Structure 1
């Protein structure tokens, strides 16, 4: 049985202020860097065989914390980037609601947003392709860690599992530096073994953007 760990990056100042990041390249803050170190100390016990990351710095620097424990080189895949949020990027969610009320309503209700925002279908297909490529790096029975982003993780996993959007919306957003553990074998295919696992389970959940 092979294992894929889908790991969200650590906290950023934009996470902390509920500002939409999307594909803007925002760095980890001091809290996020410590979260990455603490989470890496747990993930190293899973003995990963490979680490693949989004090329955005907040994900790449999170991956680097685990690489420092394992000695593994980090591979980078743009398909693991966060959802592209177009004109929303750089705005707080309060500003989005004020400037784009119709789009904000559709977003809060799990619908396609429209405008310049990447569709959920495109996001799911893109990220799941990246996750499958990462998983293929594992030897039989091995473990791969894929470092990505909140919205990207949820939609990519949902596409991989062939879940409808209604079912996917029942999952809470991943907390910063938390992960999903997926397993795969011939008989069962992909299954969720654990969700939202990490060292800071009592912290509030920043929006997955």
Structure 2
């Protein structure tokens, strides 16, 4: 039985300020570094066999907190980057709502391609799914921690579970430095073999 722990990075000033990060390389802030250290102590207890991370620094530095406890190296996979948010990257959500009301409404409603150069959910799902499958293959029967981003985590986990976009949207967003646990069991007819075991797990009171 292979276990994937899909871990969201720690807090950044973009998170704190209500800005869209997308693939902007915003670093962890002091709070984010503290979150990573606290969550890493819990994740180390799972005795991971491999660590894989997005190349964006907020994810890689989060993964590095766990690497320092386990002695494992962090493999980088650019497919684990956050969704590309096109024209919106770096913008305040409040400004987007005012300046792009139609596209903002479509995005909030779950439109897979809302416009403004935003990466489609289908493209996001495909690349993160492939990254998660390759990560799992690093330690068959073991535990792999994958450090990524909020939107990428949700869409990738949904794709791994075989869920349509409508079902994936019902999965709440991960809080900073929280994770989703997935386990690969014997495939059944019509299923992918992966099961959701836990979601939004992390340090109590930390978000």
With normalisation by structure 2, the TM-score equals 0.95
Partner SS, residue 182 of structure 2: strand
Aligned residues: 202
Distance 1:30 1:122 in 2: 33
Instruction: Report the Cα offset of residue 187 of structure 1.
Output: 3.5
Residue of structure 1 equivalent to 2:88: 88
Give yes or no for the alignment of 1:39 onto 2:52.
Answer: no
Partner SS, residue 117 of structure 1: coil
Give yes or no for the alignment of 1:192 onto 2:196.
Answer: yes
Residue of structure 1 equivalent to 2:5: 5
Q: What are the residue-to-residue correspondences of 1:132-147 with 2, within 5 Å? A: 132-139=133-140, 141-147=141-147
Distance 2:103 2:204 in 1: 32
Distance 2:152 2:103 in 1: 19
CA spacing shift, 1:202–1:55, aligned 2, 3 Å: closer
Which blocks of at least 5 consecutive residues in structure 2 are unaligned?
none
Instruction: Report the Cα offset of residue 166 of structure 1.
Output: 1.6
Distance 1:180 1:191 in 2: 11
CA contact under 8 A between 2:35 and 2:206: conserved in structure 1? no
* 1:101-148 residue CA offsets vs partner (Å, 9 max, x unmatched): 111000110112123100000001111111111110013x20000000
Q: What are the residue-to-residue correspondences of 1:55-70 with 2, within 5 Å? A: 55-70=55-70
Partner SS, residue 28 of structure 1: coil
Residue of structure 2 equivalent to 1:26: 26
Residue of structure 2 equivalent to 1:152: 152
* 1:23-55 residue CA offsets vs partner (Å, 9 max, x unmatched): 000000000000000000000000000000000
CA spacing shift, 1:98–1:152, aligned 2, 3 Å: same
Residue of structure 1 equivalent to 2:178: 178
Distance 2:117 2:96 in 1: 13
CA contact under 8 A between 2:5 and 2:143: conserved in structure 1? yes
Instruction: Report the Cα offset of residue 201 of structure 1.
Output: 4.2
Distance 2:74 2:194 in 1: 24
With normalisation by structure 1, the TM-score equals 0.94
Which blocks of at least 5 consecutive residues in structure 1 are unaligned?
204-209
Instruction: Report the Cα offset of residue 186 of structure 1.
Output: 2.3
